Amino acid sequence: MKLLLRILGWALAIVLAVAVGGWFALKRPDVPYETLEQKYAGADSRYADLGEGMRIRYVETGKADGPTIVLVHGFGVAIDTWRPWMAALAPDFRVIALDLPGHGLTRAPEGFKATPQSLAAVIERFAAKQKLERFTLVGQSLGGFAAWEYALAHPERLDGLVLLSASGWPDERPETRQRRDSLLMRAMRTDIGFRLLRDLDKRAMLRDGLIQSYENDALVTDAVVERYSEMARAPGHRHITMGMLADWDRWTFATPQRLAALRVPTLIMHGDKDLLVPVEDARRFDQTIPDSRLIVYQNAGHMLNEELAARSAADLKAFIGELGPDLAEAPPARTSEISESVLPPPSGPTDPSLIFE
């Protein structure tokens, strides 16, 4: 018996040693902001100090006196996802894209807890700092969740709201419930599990997430994975983003009653092949937001602003032109690429959603 216990003790010690060694092998240190800024900021990056340790990185381009569009990215990415749209919109608009806390090159105070509501509050602080009196707010994925929360809180600021592959409805798909109940997610919700998992190398997980986001896998290059992987290791970023994943079930989600109170003209844009946010969520937004228009793009994934940049940007221009003559000089010229896309009329909460090929 003593020999058996000794063998079991040695076996347990070996397993623990392998586990500890594996943890140290996968552990990745923070990358200093100075290193990341030198490598990724570019000449057009600007920074807005909002106080209390919040320093927002943003990029501004286009017509200084044009109608203002503010672009807010989704989970795990940064300003770079908006580059195609910024190029398309710059001739007619003042375009501002920002990095959310926990993403890109934005610095947040220690202990910052990111929720759609707190991110909406950051957007408002940024808008006030930049003296943005009126603008059209565009949010993609998680940024869309923060954008419609912002529209509920500050409708007086907005000319229009654009929800691009936006999240916000409770996700009850079986595969989502399975991931939510997995051993990994349960461990992440404990203090020790959170600390052990926070600093591990997540490059493979990031690549898989990007591949799910794009309909065209060729866009998920090694350089893209490297950029987002390194930015994710900025000081404090992993604590914020893992906290979001761990707390997701505790967030306040969309309901028909909440969205019925939204009083901002809204354009909803979604790909029918979106694997991250189901297209049915876009239809639910359209059915519950009083003044809404929906475009569902055929054979398109989650990243419409990159994969269908010209087409989706042109539809945005048409929407802004519809809001009033002061917001756009004229409806955009239709190119062959988008000749089949027609901006739908307001559908409201009772009309069926329309699909545009």
Give the tens place of pLDDT for each residue, 76-125.
999 999 999 999 999 999 999 999 999 999 999 999 999 999 999 999 99
Is 78 in the same domain as 99? yes
Is 25 in the same domain as 81? no
Distances (CA, A) of 13 to 176, 185, 227: 36, 26, 38
pLDDT of residue 326: 57
> 33 CB contacts (<8 Å, ≥6 apart)?
105, 107, 234, 235
The CA distance from 17 to 21, in Å, is 6
Residue 293 in domain: yes
Average pLDDT over residues 182-190: 75
Name the residue with higher pLDDT: 323 or 14: 323
- Selection from 274, 280, 281 nearest residue 215 by Cα: 274
Instruction: Evaluate if residue 328 carries a pLDDT over 70.
Output: no
Residue 350 in domain: no
Is 24 in the same domain as 38? no
Instruction: Evaluate if residue 73 carries a pLDDT over 60.
Output: yes
Is 19 in the same domain as 39? no
Is 111 in the same domain as 165? yes
Residue 256 in domain: yes
Which backbone phi and psi does 49 adopt, to 5 degrees?
-85, 110
Exposure string of 335-354, with b = 16+ CB inside 10 Å and e = fewer, is eeebeebebbeebeeeeebe
Residue 131 in domain: yes
Is 45 in the same domain as 12? no
Q: Which of 209-218, 219-228, 331-340 has the lowest mean pLDDT?
A: 331-340
Is 48 in the same domain as 117? yes
Domain that holds residue 321: 33-170+249-338
Average pLDDT over residues 25-50: 92
pLDDT of residue 329: 46
Q: Would you state the structure tokens that stand for residue 285, as one six-digit string?
A: 């937004």
Residue 344 in domain: no
Instruction: Evaluate if residue 327 carries a pLDDT over 80.
Output: no
Distances (CA, A) of 189 to 33, 193, 196, 237, 298: 28, 7, 11, 17, 38
Is 17 in the same domain as 75? no
Average pLDDT over residues 24-48: 90
- List pLDDT tens digits, range 118-166: 999 999 999 999 999 999 999 999 999 999 999 999 999 999 999 999 9
Residue carrying structure tokens 């399975």: 178
> 24 CB contacts (<8 Å, ≥6 apart)?
none
Cα radius of gyration (the chain): 22
- Selection from 303, 96, 314 nearest residue 211 by Cα: 303
Residue 239 in domain: no
pLDDT of residue 16: 34
The CA distance from 139 to 161, in Å, is 8
SS3 content of the chain, % helix, strand, coil (to 5): 50, 15, 35
Instruction: Evaluate if residue 338 carries a pLDDT over 50.
Output: no
As for how many domains the chain has, the answer is 2
Is 18 in the same domain as 74? no
Count of other CB atoms within 10 angstroms of residue 200: 15
- List pLDDT tens digits, range 290-320: 999 999 999 999 999 999 999 999 999 999 9
Exposed, middle or buried: residue 111 (CB in 10 Å: 0-12, 13-18, 19+)?
exposed
Is 3 in the same domain as 42? no
Is 64 in the same domain as 107? yes
Kindly state the percentage of the chain with pLDDT values over 90: 67
pLDDT of residue 315: 97
pLDDT of residue 342: 45
The CA distance from 106 to 237, in Å, is 9
Give the CA count within 13 Å in the CB-facing half-sphere of 42: 12
* Mean pLDDT over each residue of the chain, to the nearest integer: 85
Is 274 in the same domain as 328? yes
The CA distance from 10 to 149, in Å, is 55
The CA distance from 14 to 113, in Å, is 38
Instruction: Evaluate if residue 267 carries a pLDDT over 80.
Output: yes
The H-or-E segment that residue 333 falls in is none
Residue 200 in domain: no
Average pLDDT over residues 58-86: 96
Residue 282 in domain: yes
The CA distance from 237 to 96, in Å, is 22
> 297 CB contacts (<8 Å, ≥6 apart)?
269, 270, 271, 272, 304, 308, 311, 312, 341, 356
Q: Which of 26-30, 140-144, 214-218 has the lowest mean pLDDT?
A: 26-30
